[in-house]
């Protein structure tokens, strides 16, 4: 007999997925301990679980998965083959439909390209307090993407407008925004994406107390302090409109003491993720505003799962002893704000729980 943990490890299905498919009557364990509720599987069920994992990754509907598994071990495999062919046809048709819809979108993007390019080719010169710039970069650097297929996210957006410099980073699953005061720029809005290595060099120059000078000239950006400088080319890409992604303050707010909360995350219960996926911490807010970590047995409908490492990074980047967590529905992004500076925040996308 295989335990649910062994089955999860060898099949490619997470323990939470196995529990879901048990309740759905798709892959029912051979025996369930009546005292502990622990699930046990026959050795021959491993092949079915592996088939199920492949069908799940291919996006097959649950009703068809149930029919495939019911017919899998039988002598007549015609139904299985027809179900696989039918699903492949649906996927191909869906891809064709998507291409038809994307073609006019590409034309619209071409029309907007000149407007977006103007923000990247303008010039700006401004002065920023070094401690403010250092704090802003520290607050967002962790969220920059390292995915080579998304080069436009492989840096930090410098958004200059009036007397403000907003710095922004995102890798799609998290986003961080911070603001630093600026002086000397009275022109139009200017945006440049500074590649991560150059961001790190700028951060190293911002250790003093004197103001630093930021120069933007088309696709080149330079940060100067004294006789030292960090300069380089900006990324020639468009950055997402981060302002549309910012959540309004609200939801269930919880004040957390960062050090104890980080310790609880490091030592507390961890939700079993899909094979190869991240460790998850599952949160809920009590009526008194206290954030607690859920166990696998907790089925509170308001619980929210989040990548544990991302949450720990966001708490560290918050750079405060106390932070505000804003939690909404299980599918709503989590916001981490500073009580004294709510314009600086991190946003984490929740992770859907299969069970």
Pairwise pLDDT comparison (215 vs 299), residue with the higher score: 215
**Sheet with 123-129, side-by-side order of all strands:** 123-129, 211-217, 220-225, 228-233
Predicted confidence at residue 275, as pLDDT, reads 56
In a domain, 81, yes or no: yes
Structure tokens at 339: 């009580």
CB-count burial class (<10 Å; 0-12, 13-18, 19+) for 264: middle
Residues 116 and 109: their CA atoms lie apart, in Å, by 10
Contact 51, 14 (CB under 8 A): no
In a domain, 37, yes or no: yes
The model's pLDDT over 4-43, given as tens digits with 9 standing for 90+, comes to 999 998 998 888 889 889 988 899 999 998 888 899 999 9
The model's pLDDT over 80-95, given as tens digits with 9 standing for 90+, comes to 999 999 999 999 999 9
In a domain, 181, yes or no: yes
Does one domain contain both 141 and 232?
yes
Residues 258 and 266: their CA atoms lie apart, in Å, by 12
In a domain, 104, yes or no: no
CB-count burial class (<10 Å; 0-12, 13-18, 19+) for 178: buried
Domain span at residue 7 reads 2-87
Number of domains in the chain: 3
Structure tokens at 109: 């993007």
In a domain, 133, yes or no: yes
What is the mean predicted confidence (pLDDT) over 320-344?
90
Does one domain contain both 167 and 281?
no
Does one domain contain both 277 and 226?
no
Tell me the pLDDT band of 355, cut-offs 50, 70 and 90. Answer: low
Contact 287, 301 (CB under 8 A): no
Does one domain contain both 267 and 223?
no
Predicted confidence at residue 270, as pLDDT, reads 86
Predicted confidence at residue 276, as pLDDT, reads 61
Does one domain contain both 152 and 201?
yes
**Cα–Cα nearest to 157, from 132, 135, 130, 175:** 175
The model's pLDDT over 108-144, given as tens digits with 9 standing for 90+, comes to 776 665 555 555 667 899 999 999 999 999 999 999 9
Does one domain contain both 131 and 222?
yes
Q: Percentage of the chain with pLDDT > 70?
A: 93
CATH number of the CATH domain containing 324: 3.10.150.10
Tell me the pLDDT band of 238, cut-offs 50, 70 and 90. Answer: confident
Predicted confidence at residue 223, as pLDDT, reads 97
In a domain, 235, yes or no: yes
What is the mean predicted confidence (pLDDT) over 209-235?
93
Pairwise pLDDT comparison (295 vs 172), residue with the higher score: 172
Predicted confidence at residue 101, as pLDDT, reads 87
Q: Which of 60-74, 244-258, 263-277, 323-337 has the lowest mean pLDDT?
A: 263-277
Pairwise pLDDT comparison (211 vs 250), residue with the higher score: 211
Predicted confidence at residue 321, as pLDDT, reads 96
Give the angle 337-127-159 at the CA atoms, nearest 5°: 50
pLDDT for 70 beyond 80: yes
Domain boundary pick from 207, 225, 244? 244
Does one domain contain both 236 and 341?
no
Predicted confidence at residue 52, as pLDDT, reads 93
Does one domain contain both 48 and 132?
no
Does one domain contain both 149 and 239?
yes
CATH number of the CATH domain containing 67: 1.10.1660.10
Structure tokens at 291: 């954030």
Domain boundary pick from 244, 276, 309? 244
Does one domain contain both 233 and 271?
no
Domain boundary pick from 87, 104, 132? 87
What is the mean predicted confidence (pLDDT) over 54-58?
92
Predicted confidence at residue 253, as pLDDT, reads 86
Is residue 317 helix, strand or coil? Answer: helix
Does one domain contain both 227 and 296?
no
Predicted confidence at residue 115, as pLDDT, reads 55
In a domain, 308, yes or no: yes
Structure tokens at 221: 């950006």
Predicted confidence at residue 178, as pLDDT, reads 96
Does one domain contain both 332 and 268?
yes
Is residue 234 helix, strand or coil? Answer: coil
In a domain, 101, yes or no: no
């Amino acid at each position: 007999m295989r335990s649910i943990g062994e089955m999860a490890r060898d099949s490619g299905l997470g323990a939470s997925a196995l529990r879901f498919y048990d309740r759905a009557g798709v892959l029912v364990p051979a025996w369930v301990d009546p005292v502990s509720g622990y699930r046990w599987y026959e050795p021959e069920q491993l092949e079915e679980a592996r088939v199920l994992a492949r069908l799940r990754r291919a996006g097959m509907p649950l009703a068809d998965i149930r029919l495939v598994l019911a017919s899998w071990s039988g002598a007549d495999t015609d139904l299985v083959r027809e179900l696989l062919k039918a699903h492949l046809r649906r996927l191909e048709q869906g891809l064709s439909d998507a291409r038809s819809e994307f073609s006019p979108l590409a034309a619209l993007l071409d029309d907007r390209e000149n407007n977006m390019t103007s923000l990247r080719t303008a010039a700006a010169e401004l002065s920023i307090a070094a401690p403010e710039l250092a704090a802003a970069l520290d607050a967002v650097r962790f969220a920059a993407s390292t995915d080579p297929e998304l080069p436009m996210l492989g840096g930090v957006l410098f958004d200059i407008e009036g007397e403000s410099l907003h710095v922004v980073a995102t890798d799609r699953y998290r986003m961080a925004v911070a603001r630093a005061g600026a002086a000397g720029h009275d022109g139009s809005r200017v945006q440049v994406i500074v590649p991560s290595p150059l961001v790190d060099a700028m951060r190293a120059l911002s250790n003093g107390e004197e103001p630093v000078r930021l120069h933007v000239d088309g696709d080149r950006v330079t940060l100067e302090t004294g006789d030292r400088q960090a300069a380089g080319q900006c990324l020639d890409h468009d950055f997402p409109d981060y302002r549309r992604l910012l959540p309004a303050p609200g939801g269930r707010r919880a004040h957390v003491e960062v050090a104890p909360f980080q310790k609880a995350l490091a030592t507390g219960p961890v939700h079993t993720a899909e094979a190869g996926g991240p460790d998850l911490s599952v949160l809920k807010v009590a009526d008194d505003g206290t954030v607690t970590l859920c166990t696998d047995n907790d089925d509170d409908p308001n619980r929210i799962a989040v990548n544990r490492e991302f949450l720990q990074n966001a708490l560290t980047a918050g750079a405060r002893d106390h932070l505000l967590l804003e939690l909404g529905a299980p599918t709503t992004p989590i916001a981490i704000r500073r009580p004294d500076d709510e314009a600086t925040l991190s946003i984490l996308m929740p992770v859907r729980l299969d069970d």
